[in-house]
Structure 1
Amino acid sequence: MPAVWVVMPAAGRGTRFGGELPKQYLQVGGQPLFAHTLAALFAHPAVAGAVVAVSQNDADWPGWREFAGKPVLSCVGGATRAESVLAGLNALPETVRADDFVLVHDAARPNLALADLEQLLERGGNDPVGAILAAPVRDTLKRAGDDGGIDATEPRQRLWRAFTPQLFRRLQLSRALESAAAAGVEVTDEAMAMERLGHRPLLIEGSENNFKITTPADLARFEFVLRQRREQGTGNGG
């Protein structure tokens, strides 16, 4: 797999998490949360560097230029995830060509397994469109009525939960995000933008441990994982 860069949207305020400090800057194990995310990504030799999209006048961004020996760039993100990802794509170095693959990964998803990243790069990099990490839906799904009662049980076959990283070509993804914005469609992940243009990214099954920090309970879960990993003397196994 040729070298790839990462775009990391980190301009959100994490309103669901609560608190004054955005969750990506919360200290975990002596480092901000997004540092653990960068470490998981940079553990793969094919990952060359990252662009982090931060909010305007972000006083919490430490201004890093490198991490783990690899370059870290920053840019001003937007009001939505899609705007931040597009800003990050535009801020990539000139060495990243239009048809080169780029990873997009959540800043608050620090428990990415190296084996999952390897699968994504290997299989997605051989696809004309790209791929995302995801997991099949295993729970029974219920559709709720307005009164809170159950209206129906939904079939879960062929349903997947989308994770990140997501791997797409720089120009294709930029055009997909621009098209969605022009149509007034707020996409919730990069694959959705690609789907609008008729592209069919691969679904690559990844570990359920690649969870996103959304609530304080999620943060406590990652702290527990981190303590276990350090006590066992292991790296990031997801």
Structure 2
Amino acid sequence: MQNNPKSIIAIVPAAGIGSRMGADKPKQYLMLGQQSILAHTLDVLLSHTDISQVIVALHPQDQHFKQLPQATHPKLSLVIGGGERADSVLAALDYALAINPQAWVLVHDAARPCLRHEDINKLIGSVEQHPQGAILAAPVRDTMKRSDASGQITSTVDRALLWHALTPQFFPITSLHRNLSQALAAKVSITDEASAMEWAGVRPGLVNGRVDNIKVTHPDDLQLAALFISQAQQ
């Protein structure tokens, strides 16, 4: 296992077209201030000096990406994604593996535009402590409830040692490619890259990330994301 990530490639799965939040385009292309959600996300990754390349996995019928200013950036490459997030990540991993099998990959959600360089630095710096790979995460702060099928509380869950999984998620490219492809072949439900590693017996590390690294999933999130981005630019 390579414990010194001298080459880092970022992967952005952006092939989803289902979540439009009531708009006429996929949510990653909704405007957030002066540019789209995805454009903000790409700016953070493309401007980080330790990231050598950013690979974006797109839907084959995507007609929006080429309109982004970032589309012609020399560090950016495109691949055709799949039906699920994991399929898109695997397509990007196939491409990245051919470029540098010794690289590490940062997989980041297209709809998380509030990521900051300081969190990327913390994740990259965690390699010595977590040579198997790690993810950004935030400790659960609220009281957690478990319900039954009818929506009634059945128990209160102890929140100690519970975390919200965030992105980026950071792994050696060879091990992530192997474990993700084998998990998909076994028809395992993969919700994020860490779950593929866990399925293979790997225990990824947790790196405490900023809570403003939100994922835009509802219309109300746009206003909150805009606030976080404006604060970061001050």
> TM-score surpassing 0.5?
yes
Deviation at 1:41, TM superposition (A): 1.8
Deviation at 1:58, TM superposition (A): 1.1
Deviation track 1:115-152 (CA, whole Å, cap 9, x = no partner) reads 11101001136633111000111111111122222111
Comparing 38-47 with 77-86, greater Cα deviation is found at 38-47
Comparing 120-129 with 214-223, greater Cα deviation is found at 120-129
Counterpart check, 1:216 vs 2:219 = yes
What percent of counterpart residues are identical? 42
Alignment correspondent of 2:139: 136
The answer as to whether partners of 1:8 and 1:106 remain within 8 angstroms in 2 is yes
Give the letter aligned to residue 172 of structure 2: R
Secondary structure of 1:91's aligned partner: helix
Alignment correspondent of 2:164: 161
Please point out which of 193, 198, 211 is paired with 1:195: 198
Deviation at 1:156, TM superposition (A): 1.1
Between the aligned partners of 2:128 and 2:26, the Cα distance in structure 1 is: 33
The answer as to whether partners of 1:6 and 1:49 remain within 8 angstroms in 2 is yes
1:1-238 mapped onto 2 (5 Å cutoff): 1-15=5-19, 17-62=21-66, 65-67=71-73, 70-92=74-96, 94-97=98-101, 99-124=102-127, 127-230=130-233, 232=234
The answer as to whether partners of 1:134 and 1:205 remain within 8 angstroms in 2 is yes
Deviation at 1:224, TM superposition (A): 2.5
Unmatched 5+ stretches in structure 1: 233-238
Give the letter aligned to residue 28 of structure 2: Q
Give the letter aligned to residue 33 of structure 1: I
Counting matched residue pairs gives 228
The answer as to whether partners of 2:135 and 2:169 remain within 8 angstroms in 1 is yes
RMSD over aligned CA atoms reads 1.8
Unmatched 5+ stretches in structure 2: none
Secondary structure of 1:73's aligned partner: strand
Structure 2 length-normalised TM: 0.90
